[in-house]
Every structure is written in C-alpha cells, then in structure tokens.
Amino acid sequence: MFERSISFLGENIHNLIKSKKILLIGVGGVGSMALETLVRNSFTNITIIDYDSIDKSNLNRQIITNSNNIGHSKVIEGILRAKSINPDILIDGIEKRLKTDNINEILNLGYDYIIDACDSIDIKFALIENSLHYQYKLITCLGTAKKKDPTKLSITTLDKTSYDPLAKILRKKVRDANINKKLYVVSSDEVPIKCDSLASLSMVPNTAGILCVSYIIDDIINEKK
C-alpha cells in the first residue's frame, strides 16, 4: 500500500520511518490531521492521547469526525480511522487529560518524536522542559484559531514567531526558565482576525497538522544523510 512512498523516499528511509515511535498529544483539528498524515506516510508505531469526545462544533475541521460519531471518544475514533487506512498499524490510545503531574508516566514509555497538538500552555511548556532530559524530538503547534490563511503557516523556531498569542506566552516561560535550546514550532504569522470566540476554519489547523508531520519526515531524511 505504500509503493508510492517507497518510490519517492527509497526503501531505507521508508523503513526508518516505520521504525520511529511517535506520540501525538491531542486529536483535534491539528492532531487529527497529523494522525491522518502519519498513517498515510508509513508511520506504524503511534500513540495518541486525548481526554475529549466529539462535539458537533468539531465537524468543520476535525477529519476523524462525522455526523454518526458525535459523543464518541476522539481517541477511539482516531484509532478506528487509522486502522481503516492501515489495518496492520500499531496504534495505542490513552484516554486521559495530560497534566504536569502525570506527564512523566507517559514520557517514560519512550518516544522518538512528539507532536504537541494540545491547547494547554502548561503542557506545551512541560514538554519543552522535559525535552532537555528525554531523548525525544518535539514539534509544537501554536495557535491556529482566528486565522484563515494556511499559506501564513510555517515550520520555524519559537524565537522567530510573530502575531501568535500562544507563542508570546511560551517565549516568556522559556526565557524565565533559561532554556536556550532551539525549539521547533508550527506557527502562523497572520494577524489574528477579530472575533468573539476561538473560531477557526479547517484550512489552518489541518495544514498545521500536515506541517507537524512534514517536520518529522524531513528530520528523519536529514538524519539518514
């Protein structure tokens, strides 16, 4: 089923991708598309974590959702979708809210890459802090709400972000903790649109999820060179 991927990447890179252990935190607008992209690009060892269930408001942007699974667990629906694409995938689901007091029990399971697609500043910062001590590589997705132009998204470093309220808070926490490590993020430099809620369209969070996986694939290719 991955003949075209093998043809593009070569057998060695394809096998390296299959060998990597991935943790995806959050299976919402960004995370569900990241999961889709991981599965369709040969990743076969994935753990997803989310505590939430599907709501009608998710239908406009979350690829695992449909009119028949409202109220279902996002983790369970993510697993079902992944297996519907690749029945042989090794995918685990953790249905719990990730907190600073339980994060280490997850990280101790050992991962090569972590995609942070969650909404919590505390967890984002905890993942950055812990990346100094664990061996995983981290890609953090920042804010995608109140933005409509997917071409304004890019893979960059936290210190080079702009017009991103989440990034501003995170930068301060990183500075205050004297963390000097290069921190890779997916961020939009589009000026946020003024609206009353954290509204979003599918194009931006979905593209952000794809970019998170692109970062991992590029890193694996560069590792092999």
Q: Using one digit for the tens of pLDDT, what is the confidence trace for 129-144?
A: 999 999 899 999 998 8
Note the Cα 179 to chain centre separation in Å: 22
Q: Using one digit for the tens of pLDDT, what is the confidence trace for 77-86?
A: 999 999 999 9
Q: What would the mean pLDDT of 105-118 be, rounded to a whole number?
A: 96
Q: Which residues contact 225 (CB under 8 A, 6 or more apart)?
A: none
Q: pLDDT band for 225, please (50, 70, 90 cuts).
A: low
Q: What would the mean pLDDT of 46-55 be, rounded to a whole number?
A: 96
Q: What would the mean pLDDT of 142-149 be, rounded to a whole number?
A: 91
pLDDT at site 156: 97
Taken in order of first residue, the domains within the chain and their CATH numbers are 3-224 (3.40.50.720)
Cβ of 185: how many Cβ atoms within 10 Å?
A: 28
pTM equals 0.95
Largest CA distance in the chain: 49
